[in-house]
Chain A
Amino acid sequence: MNIVVLAKLVPDLVEELEIDDSGIALDMTWLRLIINELDDHAIEEAILLKERTGANVTVLAPDIEGVDDILFTAAAKGADRLIKIVGDYESGVNNLGLARVLTPVIKDLQPDLILAGVEAHEDLDGSIGPLLAGYLDLPFIGYVASIELEEGKATATKEYPGGLSAEMEVALPVVLGIQVADEPPRYVAVSKVRQAMKTAEIEELEAGDFDLSGGPTIDRMYQPEVGESATIIDGSLDDIADSLIGIFKELGVQ
């Protein structure tokens, strides 16, 4: 059983986001990157499946600064093979472009199961899972919260809004978009990650030129703007509390 997991780095919202001079992209100067949270869940789910079934886990990631850390961390958790896709990501690569580059790579790996986080907060042209499933001509189930594997098939638990879940049986191979792993992503000790850095190997594959066609064009990127009907109360905590009490009194709150 071969499992391929896709993981990518996205802007870390711990820092405030700034727009660069072009007005259509984030300013990357101070931006920190972090593994897409749901991709971290996808890796965890793959490792849990490996522990249950002995599957072989390959983690595949675009070569963006910090990718080595997330790949070595995955190795420390139990991933068997690490591959980064080297290419020109500087000018921005959309999911369509990424999916087109990943399609032949994934075909070569002949996986039974392809896992990816069901979404990332910087997806602008849809999430990568369904795009890949389309190019690979495979079925896709998204918002998956649990997976059971049997010979030639998987049972995925898909979450729906309103607290509903459905169990779906699907023939392998299949692309699954992971909403949450069966268990929270595990913590691996720094010493284990450092060990993995010495022992694990990251393979490099060339992306070649990205074909970004079909994606949206960004005309303008901007911070949330204050609407006309909104009032923002500024000042110290005490001032804000005073203003709020004044407003409540005005509105007749007793």
Chain B
Amino acid sequence: MTATAAQAPHLSLSDTFYTSLFEVENGERIRACLQCGTCSGVCPFGYLMGFPPGRMIAYLRAERFENVLESDSVWMCVSCYACTTVCPKEIPLTLGLMTRTKEELLLAGNVPTELQDALMNSQRYGNPLGESPRKRAAWTKGLDFDIPTFKEAKRPVDVLWFVSDYPSYHPRVQLTTKAMAKILRVLGVDFAILGPEENSDGDSQRLAGERGLFEMLAEKNGKAFGKYEFNEIITSDPHAFNAIKNEYPKLGINFPVQHFTEFVANRLDELKPHLRDIGEQRVTYHDPCYLGRANDIFDAPRKLLDAIPGVELVEMSHNRNNSLCCGGGGGGMWLDGFQWEKAHVRLSEWRIQEAVNVNADILAVACPYEPPRFEDAAKMVQGAGRLMVKDIAELLADSLEMEE
């Protein structure tokens, strides 16, 4: 089974699929799979998938991949990179095997209905929530200072703030967006947003198997980036960060990007004099998959939390590289009903239990999927009644407000 054999007419479905995996960077490493099963073991839903990653490879090798495609178990994959991280042969399982399988199912029309809605909304409105694209900057109303759009600014600006979907539209996540705006203002950052010219980054849609949609959205964003002059992009959304940093360049869209936590950590000395005691708080930090495991940013968020007077930082049993997914990745954000039917557990509740186990007052997060997911989960977990879920931006803004 070689790449050149792909053109041969007698190739089986398994052969063709196997060969297509080589197109992903380091994809050919799948040949070296030891069938050790570590990927299936570390997968947060591996125990209930008919075909966890290791078994998918076994079926590929046995030329029986059609059995995998007849099953819907890959929709339990939350693209959390846990399998990729532990694989002793460093096979790009998330980017290759899991995402390619979802792509096959999507092309065949075998997609859970609730996921279809998010994809259709992304296609129509440029956001998975199905909100009006014209209202993408509506969150800026009610702030006591202006958030300029590039269109209004009509001049080169230092920083393009890519606000992203949930921070723009979700009422709970908008609070974190406003907190971030306050911090940028205190730091005196010269920034602007794209407003209605911004589209979904498309990363979760890509990881849910909708590559064509991802490319369409990336092209629109690339065009918007190209219209204006700025030095770098920042975003609070690890999924947008991952897309702009790692995936957009493959489409010829090259712009420097930093996650918000890195950006602020680099300016911590300027921020520190303004930070005030928020009272004794035991804080634990949840590493988002696409900030931590996928992009190796573990220290910047912790550095910010450590800088807030009053914060005592404690670690949960799963942390850093070994962090637990909130369940929202790879389309999981739009598969809650499907995954509940299969699993009758939520990954977010597992995480909340860990925060309760370390007696945390606050679960700090750094991804827009998380405040609503974890707040919902906290309502279901015993002993989580007084646990607060706060984005790092919110904790920093709280600490800044103490100054006023």
Which A residues fall within an 8 A CB radius of B? 12, 14-16, 30, 34, 184, 186-194
Contacts and interface: CB of A to CB of B under 8 A. Distances in A.
Contacts of B107: 189, 191-192
Given A187-B109, A189-B213, A191-B212, A15 B132 contact: yes
Interface stretch (B34-42, B116-124, B152-160): B116-124
Q: Which interface residue of A12, A16, A188 has the most chain B CB atoms within 10 A?
A: A188
Contacts of A190: 123, 210, 212-213, 215-216
Contacts of A15: 132, 134
A188 B120 CA distance: 9
Contacts of A16: 132
A16 B135 CA distance: 10
Nearest to B130: A14
24 contacts: A12-B124, A14-B130, A16-B132, A184-B113, A184-B116, A186-B116, A187-B106, A187-B109, A187-B111, A187-B116, A188-B109, A189-B107, A189-B210, A189-B212, A189-B213, A190-B123, A190-B210, A190-B212, A190-B213, A190-B216, A191-B107, A191-B211, A192-B212, A193-B212
B132 A187 contact: no
A14 B131 contact: yes
Interface string B206-230: 0000111101100000000000000
B139 interface: no
B17 interface: no
B338 interface: no
Contacts of B119: 187
B125 interface: yes
A194 B212 contact: yes
A75 to B, nearest CB: 15
Contacts of B215: 190
B211 A30 contact: no
A30 B196 CA distance: 13
A219 B324 CA distance: 61
Contact of B132 (A14, A34, A188, A191): A14
Interface string B120-146: 100111000011101000000000000
A16 B106 CA distance: 33
A55 to B, nearest CB: 19
A15 B132 CA distance: 6
A186 B120 CA distance: 10
Contacts of A187: 106, 109, 111, 116, 119-120
By secondary structure, the B interface counts as helix
Interface residues of B, number: 21
By secondary structure, the A interface counts as loop
A193 B212 CA distance: 9
Interface of B: 106-107, 109, 111, 113, 116, 119-120, 123-125, 130-132, 134, 210-213, 215-216
Contacts of B124: 12, 34
Contacts of B131: 14
A92 to B, nearest CB: 24
Contacts of B125: 14
A188 B108 CA distance: 9
Q: Which interface residue of A15, A188, A190, A193 has the most chain B CB atoms within 10 A?
A: A190
Nearest to B171: A237
A16 B119 CA distance: 22
A194 B123 CA distance: 12
Top 7 nearest A-B pairs (CB, nearest first) are: A191-B212, A190-B212, A187-B116, A190-B213, A14-B132, A15-B132, A186-B109
B17 to A, nearest CB: 16
Nearest to B209: A189
Contacts of A34: 124
B134 to A, nearest CB: 6
Contacts of B120: 187
A15 B134 CA distance: 8
Given A34-B124, A190-B210, 20 more contacts: A14-B131, A14-B132, A15-B134, A16-B132, A30-B134, A184-B116, A187-B109, A187-B111, A187-B119, A187-B120, A189-B213, A190-B212, A190-B213, A190-B215, A190-B216, A191-B211, A191-B212, A192-B107, A193-B212, A194-B212
Q: Which interface residue of B119, B120, B131, B212 has the most chain A CB atoms within 10 A?
A: B212
A9 B107 CA distance: 26
A174 to B, nearest CB: 28
A194 B211 CA distance: 12
A191 B108 CA distance: 12
A30 B134 CA distance: 9
B151 to A, nearest CB: 16
Nearest to A183: B113
A67 to B, nearest CB: 15
A234 to B, nearest CB: 14
A14 B215 CA distance: 24
Contact of A189 (B106, B113, B130, B134): B106
A22 to B, nearest CB: 23
A191 B210 CA distance: 8
A184 B116 CA distance: 10
Nearest to B142: A236
Contacts of B111: 187
A7 B125 CA distance: 21
Contacts of B211: 191
A188 B212 CA distance: 10
Contacts of A193: 212
Contacts of A191: 107, 211-212
Contacts of A188: 109
Contacts of A186: 109, 116
B20 to A, nearest CB: 14
